[in-house]
Structure 1
Amino acid sequence: MSLFIGLMSGTSLDGIDAALVECDHHHRPLLLEATGIDMPEPLRRQLWHLCHAGEAAFETLAETEEAFCRLQTQAVAALLEKSGHAVSDIAAIGSHGQTIEHRPAGPFPYTWQLDNPSRLAELTGCRVVADFRRRDLAAGGQGAPLAPAFHNAIFRDPHQWRVLLNLGGFANVTLLPPEGSDIPVIGFDTGPANALLDGWYARHHDGRFDRDGAWAAQGQCQAPLLARLLSDPFFDSPPPKSTGREHFHLQWLETHLEEESAADIQATLLTLTVESIARELERHLPAEAQTAACVIPCGGGAHNVALMDALSARLSPIKTGSCQALDWSPDWLEAGAFAWLAWRRLEKLAGNLPSVTGAAGPRILGGVYER
């Protein structure tokens, strides 16, 4: 039995997810246990600042990285205690780090995750695999999304198209054809999700997010504003594509606002997420799958009742399924992906899908930092 821990901190900056996953060559990866650690407010504010800073002092970066690394260590310790395992039982930790900026286009493509795998190995006493994205980027890929390769390993169906929909800070989809099909798997970011919804909510309320989409439900989507937001070239660009806070942020939103009320803007942002997802599925799902596919939501946005209701209505007759029914919690899928990617690295197996990222070919992702 090979046990791996995956650590994931997404663009929502709400905490660190830790998943304990069993991986081998004979079975699909199995989620054994999971837990989460909330992001302390001072660290969240500092990460938020770095994500939007034009420049930062080295000392600030080092201080923030150390605080983040210690929080990762707490997540590992909490997971081991919850699962009843010791560090010696773990083959490796797969650490995603915290994305500060992701710019896969332009003359000097780059992606930067705040992380210190050497320090994490020292603090936990466990081998660490990290820095997954830049190997794909070096091969001409977007460096993202990486989770579709994991989705392909665990969610392919013998007969049915499945769409994995991750609703994190940004939304991304993985289109999985039936097993045996010669159609390649594709996956890409569709646009903003919780990043804008949470940011706009926090500007007007105490709290980090709009629970169940209750505030958005009080407003009305403003069609002219929605049209202005959807006019951004990203939404019509073909895959492979990925995005992040460096493109979609509150300042970007403000350039499109006129006299809309705050609640109506929240409602329009919710519709923006739904509409950008729906349009991409209409473009990229084959005609025969438009009614027969099953969309499986995961990530924090899967708990947003208003968002899920609007999405189900917009996608109909496409059905909405459940990660839980497929033996994976929607909350731990991304952390599970980085546990699996760590296993792939130690087995010297490719971790990317070139049909997703646009890389020149399959690549072994990540660097190994021994305990």
Structure 2
Amino acid sequence: MERYIGLMSGTSLDGVDGVLVEFAGNRCMVQCHQSVPFQPTLRAELLALNSSGPDELHRAALAANALARTYAQVVRALLADSDLPAYAIAAVGAHGQTVRHRPGLYDGTGYTLQLNSPALLAELTGITVVADLRSRDVAAGGQGAPLVPAFHQQVFGRPGQDTLVLNIGGISNLSVLAADGRVLGFDCGPGNALMDAWCQRHTGQPFDAAGAWAASGQVVAALLQRLQAEPFLHQPPPKSTGRDLFNADWLAAQLEGGSHWAPQDVQATLTEFTALVCADCVQSHGPHSDVLIVCGGGAFNQHLMARLQALLPHLKVQPSDCHGLPAQQVEAAAFAWLARQALLGAPGNLPSVTGARGARVLGAIYPA
């Protein structure tokens, strides 16, 4: 039995999810889960660092230290919850916080940048840390994202049957697990990021609980048409995206001239936009499955889930809880799996997903 901890802080910037996972062969069993929200000042700084600004290097270094301390807080909570000592954990998979994602651009290689201080995390926890999980794939010509489809194949794949896994975090991504073992995966487009930003701006709440505010509004057809014209949505995979594209400035440009639109109608339209983006990807790349497994924060948005089901009537749209792994735990568990792959010297990427030149061992290891 091998024990790993996986940590996830994603595009939604709501905080850190952590899981303690036991692996036995290919079986993955989550033993406990902890979440710690970001302090408002850290969240604001991480969001600000997604855009160019003064003294970025200094600010990014300090934000990375603060992030590592938040990670360590989650690790300590997991150890206390499981009543295990640090030495019982083989490694922590700590993805970091993406603040720039530009694979393939500028010089033909581009880059992806995740804020993190894995050396500090190793010092604070006394556990080996595996970090920097995307850059090797980018160096090999890949997108560096999404990385979760390989894990989805391990835990949700059904031999002889096509299966679809949709992760709706700040950005949405789809894994197509084919009956013959092939895997396709890519970023669909926005997930919760735009909905959360609009909700925070107009209600003061960090997200639209259960999608109730969106459900109270009406979809604005003209706005929806603008949103759907975004070129990224029409690119073929492999592809990945983030706040570099789908951010407040992008949304403001789409809303230009729409000051007469009611805020709840804009929220309804943003929710419908996310649902349509995801449904279009499912219909284009995974038409033969009978189930769509949904994980990430979007699985808790009842209005969004209802819209997905309405748009995809031939599928059972179900949260991953119905398939053995709670929706909020899937991505953190994936980074525990990726840490294990690194320590085993086994590949963590899928070239069919990222477009890399081949399979690669991902991550940098910071020994305890």
User: TM-score, normalized by length of structure 1?
Assistant: 0.95
Q: Show CA shifts across 1:246-279 (max 9, x none).
A: 1011211111223222111111100110111111
What is the alpha-carbon distance in structure 2 between the residues aligned to residue 85 and residue 41 of structure 1?
31
What's 1:266 paired with? 267
Mapped contact 1:189–1:241 kept (Cα < 8 A): yes
Question: CA–CA distance in 1 between the matches of 2:271 and 2:319?
Answer: 21
Q: Would the aligned equivalents of 1:11 and 1:170 in 2 still touch at CA under 8 Å?
A: yes
Counterpart contact for 2:104–2:141, Cα < 8 Å: no
- Aligned amino acid, residue 311 of structure 2: R
User: Partners in 1 of 2:55 and 2:359 — Cα distance?
Assistant: 35
Alignment of 1:23-42 (within 5 A): 23-24=23-24, 26-42=25-41
- Counterpart residue number, 1:205: 203
Mapped to 2, the partners of 1:309 and 1:325 lie a distance apart of 16
The equivalent of 1:329 in structure 2 is 326
Kept in 1, the 8 Å contact 2:42–2:66? The answer is yes
The answer to whether the 8 A contact 1:23-1:343 is kept is no
Q: Hey, what does 1:110 align to over in structure 2?
A: 111
Listed as ranges, the matches of 1:1-371 within 5 Å are: 1-24=1-24, 26-108=25-107, 109-178=110-179, 181=180, 184-257=182-255, 258-259=257-258, 260-286=261-287, 289=288, 292-371=289-368
3-state secondary structure, aligned to 1:42: helix
Q: 2:169, 2:75 → 1: CA distance?
A: 22
CA offsets 1:262-299 (integer angstroms, 9 cap, x no match):
1111111001101111111111124xx1xx42100111
Do 2:187 and 2:240's aligned partners in 1 also have CA atoms closer than 8 Å?
A: yes
Alpha-carbon distance in 2 for matches of 1:322, 1:367: 32
Cα RMSD over matched residues? 1.2
Matches of 1:91 and 1:39 in 2, distance apart?
Answer: 26
Matched position secondary structure for 1:364: coil
Contact preservation (8 Å) 2:197, 2:206: yes
Q: Deviation string for 1:111-164 (max 9, x for gaps)?
A: 100001111101111100110100000000000000001001111112321111
Alignment partners' CA distance in 2, 1:219 and 1:172: 26
**1:93-117: per-residue Cα shift (whole Å, max 9, x none)?**
0100111111113124111000011
Structure 2 gaps of 5+ residues are none
* Matched-pair contact (CA < 8 Å) for 1:50–1:56: no
Supply the distance in 2 between the matched residues of 1:191 and 1:71 (Cα, whole angstroms): 28
Secondary structure of 1:321's aligned partner? strand
Unmatched segments (≥5 aa) in structure 1: none
Local SS of the residue matching 2:95: strand
- Superposed CA offset, 1:23-56 (max 9, x none): 24x3322211111111111111111111133454
TM-score (norm 2): 0.96
Identity %: 46
- 8 Å contact 1:170–1:191 — kept in the other structure? yes
1:231 counterpart letter in structure 2: A
Q: Aligned partner of 2:21: which letter? A: V
Q: How many Å apart are 1:336 and its aligned residue?
A: 0.3
2:362 and 2:26 mapped to 1: Cα distance? 21
Structure 1 counterpart of 2:153, one-letter code: N
Distance in 2 between residues matched to 1:243 and 1:62, nearest whole Å: 24
The one-letter amino acid paired with 1:369 is: Y
- In structure 1, what residue type is equivalent to 2:193? A
2:87 and 2:127 in contact (8 A); partners too: yes
Mean alpha-carbon deviation: is it higher for 37-46 or for 155-164?
A: 155-164
